[in-house]
Amino acid sequence: MIQVLPTDTSFLYSPDSGHPDCICSRCGARIRGHEFALRMWTTNERDEMDEHSREYRYCERCQAGMGIIFFDRTSDPDLDADNFDPFYDQNTEDGI
Ligand SMILES: [Zn+2]
């Protein structure tokens, strides 16, 4: 489970990883260009994003702290990308 903490910072803008303003909501570190930033947005009462939506984003180190990834690996080997067959390969092999 991902928990947003009351101390996490939210943002009204969403810069790409590597941008100087791409700061982690939790630790405040700059999210580097090669990092995968975990991003979540608030929604309005209709469950839609709007001009008031705020982004929470987390650097890879904080994601690891949440137990989501360990840099390039997930904590669950069954979820590792190497264990998944690409969907399109399954279809083409079946002649669909
Ligand atoms: Zn962080």
Every domain of the chain and the residues it spans: 1-96
Distance 68 CA to ligand 1 centre (A): 13
CB 22 within 8 A of CB 57: yes
Q: 56 forms bridges with which residues in the sheet?
A: 40
Element (H, E) at 70: strand 69-70
Distance 96 CA to ligand 1 centre (A): 44
Collect the ranges in the chain with pLDDT lower than 50.
Answer: 75, 79, 81, 84-96
| Residue ranges in the chain assigned as alpha helix (H) | 60-66, 87-93
Integer Cα distance of 28 and 60 in angstroms:
12
Distance 6 CA to ligand 1 centre (A): 15
The pLDDT, as a whole number, for residue 34 is 87
The pLDDT, as a whole number, for residue 92 is 46
Cβ neighbours, 10 Å, residue 45 = 6
Distance 20 CA to ligand 1 centre (A): 14
The pLDDT, as a whole number, for residue 71 is 53
Distance 28 CA to ligand 1 centre (A): 6
Distance 38 CA to ligand 1 centre (A): 10
For tokens 């390969």, the residue is: 89
The pLDDT, as a whole number, for residue 96 is 45
Q: pTM score, two decimals?
A: 0.70
Distance 78 CA to ligand 1 centre (A): 25
Element (H, E) at 79: none
